Chains A and B, each alone.
Chain A
Amino acid sequence: MEQPSADTMIAIEGLAKRFVLHHQGGAEIPVLAGLDLTVRAGECVALVGPSGVGKSTILRCLYGNYLASAGHLWLRHDGRMVDLAALEPQAVLALRRQTIGYVSQFLRVVPRVPALDIVAEPLIADGLDEAAARRRAADLLSRLRIPPALWPLAPATFSGGEQQRVNIARGFAVAQPILLLDEPTAALDDGNRRTVVAMIGERKQAGTAIVGIFHDEAVRDQVADRLFDIAAARQAA
């Protein structure tokens, strides 16, 4: 990669992603090709484009959930740039713990695990003791207006909005320097939407580099410093 500036947190170079469906005649579905994107500390980049253009795919590649077919995914980890696309799974896990936070579109609920524990889990994995992790988790859930009566319950029975807020609390629990947001406000009412916007603003202030998908244009305008149009980028490439 070229010498990155000191505040570069993410540098995607020539990212390609295609899916090969072996059981459908080896059909190849190209989603991304030759994609470049740089995100600096404290910057929020909103991915835009019609549905199916590959917005979520970019986030998933950045999280190591999808394998890049080609290209580099440079992320600043422990003070230096590492290429996620070339890392061993073991190292990707360390990256996720310390460097990349991810709020997915839907909460993947673990059966029987209480909401409070779901939020506290990444904090404990990050090395916080259990009591402190639970306090921090409780703060986040309070701020996102999850009533304390729900904390000891497993979120499987929660409403969509409640599940999404538990998911946001979990994603924001550890303040990793890179944050990926996939439609974080989709199922939320106005009050909670404002809270999430405020939380995103605080993280930007703290220097977090954010890449997100926001269908809600009002939210997008409030948090995004820059739009990245995938369709346009593809034509340019």
Chain B
Amino acid sequence: MTGSGPILTAEGLGHDFGRRMAFTAVDLALWPGEVLGIVGESGAGKTTLLRGLSAQLTPCRGRVLYGDRQGRQIDLYAQSEAERRLLLRTDWGIVHQNAADGLRMNVSAGGNVGERLMAVGERHYGQIRARAADWLARVDLDVGRLDELPSSFSGGMQQRLQIARTLVTAPRLVFMDEPTGGLDVSVQARLLDLLRRLVGQYGLAAVVVTHDLHVVRLLAHRLMVMKGGLVVESGLTDQVLDDPQHPYTQLLVSSVL
């Protein structure tokens, strides 16, 4: 966790849908190489917050700063949309809960992984293909399936393909929304193991939204607990889970089977 400052900072962040508050008064600082978990029940505002942090939704209040590779702090929503999109194609990555949202289902596995390379100007077919194959191997997918469509893959394989597609441009910051949602328990464990390994190996900073406390226990250094659009508790993951302070967190922890 080196670098001259946080890689992502939120100050007084808030968003409303019409008169309904989605989340409000969120402050956070994420450091390079650090994984932040955001937990809470459905409707707590986690996913909207993730979208607000990751340039997918312009929040009504507050600001988001990104600490870039040169050590500058960039005000995300003061940037032009072109600059934000460039960031999303290069330094950032997003892993969606539904692989279908993050993949092109009518495009081969290799094309899916190669897209981000092509989006940043890579124009050598052989090299794009070689890097796509390399990434399939890194996420434990059979390289022989490079030309197959994701629709022929299982849910867990699709999710791993989505991760390969996201990491191929070596992003520094990854946003994940329920990365293990909707998968079988054994498949979940394998995916979590992979994510843990990749996060450690590439020193990724990540924000992971989930309602699954096992996921954050294994993946996140720090934890934020949300309820009704507010952050009710935050701290080290093991501390929040083992010594929860807020009534809601206690309920959440005690509800785990």
Choose among B193, B222, B246, B250 the residue that contacts A89 (Cβ–Cβ < 8 A).
B222
Can you name 14 extra interface pairs (CB under 8 A) apart from A21-B250, A89-B221, A94-B1?
Answer: A65-B242, A89-B234, A89-B236, A89-B239, A90-B29, A90-B34, A90-B222, A93-B221, A111-B192, A111-B218, A112-B189, A112-B190, A113-B196, A121-B200
Contacting residue for B239 out of A66, A110, A112, A121, CB 8 A: A66
Knowing A66-B239, A124-B200 are in contact, say whether A22-B250 is a contact too (CB < 8 A).
yes
Is B80 in contact with chain A by the CB < 8 A criterion? no
Most buried by A among B189, B192, B238, B242: B238
**Chain B 234-257, CB within 8 Å of chain A: the 1/0 string?**
111011001101110011001000
Q: Does B31 sit at the interface, judged by CB under 8 A? A: yes
Q: Which residues of chain B come closer than 8 Å to A215, judged between CB atoms?
A: none
Minimum CB–CB distance for A135 against chain B, Å: 18
Considering only CB atoms, which chain B residue lies closest to A89 in the complex?
B236
- CB atoms of B193 and A112 under 8 A apart: yes
Question: Once bound together, how far apart are the Cα atoms of A23 and B249, in whole Å?
Answer: 11
Is the beta-carbon distance between B236 and A92 smaller than 8 angstroms? yes
Give how many A residues have a beta carbon under 8 Å from the other chain's beta carbons. Answer: 22
Contact at A65–B239, with CB atoms within 8 Å? yes
Tell me if A60 counts as interface (CB < 8 A to partner B): yes
| A contact set with B: CB distance below 8 Å | 19-23, 60, 64-67, 89-90, 92-94, 110-113, 121, 124-125
Q: Is there an interface contact between B242 and A110, defined as CB atoms closer than 8 Å? A: no
Q: How far is the CB of A165 from chain B (nearest CB, A)?
A: 22
Of the candidates B1, B29, B243, the one whose C-beta lies within 8 Å of that of A65 is B243
Q: Is the CB of A23 within 8 A of B221?
A: no
Residue on B with the closest CB to A124? Answer: B200
Question: Which of A21, A66, A67, A121 lies at the interface centre, i.e. has the most chain B CB atoms within 10 A of its CB?
Answer: A67
Number of residue pairs spanning A and B whose beta carbons lie under 8 angstroms apart: 58
Are B200 and A110 within 8 A (Cβ)? no
- Contacting residues, chain B, for A112 (C-beta < 8 A): 189-190, 193
**Contact indicator A64/B236 (Cβ below 8 Å):** yes
In the complex, what distance in Å separates the CA atom of A21 from the CA atom of B253?
12
Q: Cβ of A121: which chain B residues have Cβ within 8 Å of it?
A: 200
Residues of B near A64 (CB, < 8 A) are 236, 239
A92–B234 alpha-carbon span in the complex (Å): 14
Map CB proximity to A onto B204-223 as digits: 1 under 8 Å, 0 otherwise: 00000000000000100110
What A residues does B235 contact at CB under 8 A? 67, 89
Min CB distance A160 to B, Å, is 21
How far, in angstroms, from A113 to B219 measured CA to CA in the complex? 13
Q: Which of A22, A66, A89, A110 contacts B218 (CB 8 A)?
A: A110
Residues of A within 8 A of B236 (CB): 64-65, 89, 92-93
Name 6 interchain pairs, CB-CB below 8 A, sorted by A.
Answer: A89-B236, A90-B222, A110-B193, A111-B193, A112-B189, A124-B200
A90 contacts B31, C-beta separation under 8 Å:
yes
Chain B residues with CB under 8 A of A125: 200
Give A111 to B197 CA distance when docked, in angstroms.
Answer: 12
Contacts of A60 in B (CB 8 A): 242-243
Q: Please give me the residue from chain A that is nearest to B237 by CB atom.
A: A89
A125 to B189, CA, bound (A): 22
A92: B residues at CB distance < 8 A? 236
Task: Assess the A113–B193 pair: CB atoms within 8 A.
Answer: yes
Closest A-chain residue to B34, C-beta based? A90
B50 to chain A: closest CB distance in Å?
20
Which residues of chain A come closer than 8 Å to B1, judged between CB atoms? 90, 93-94
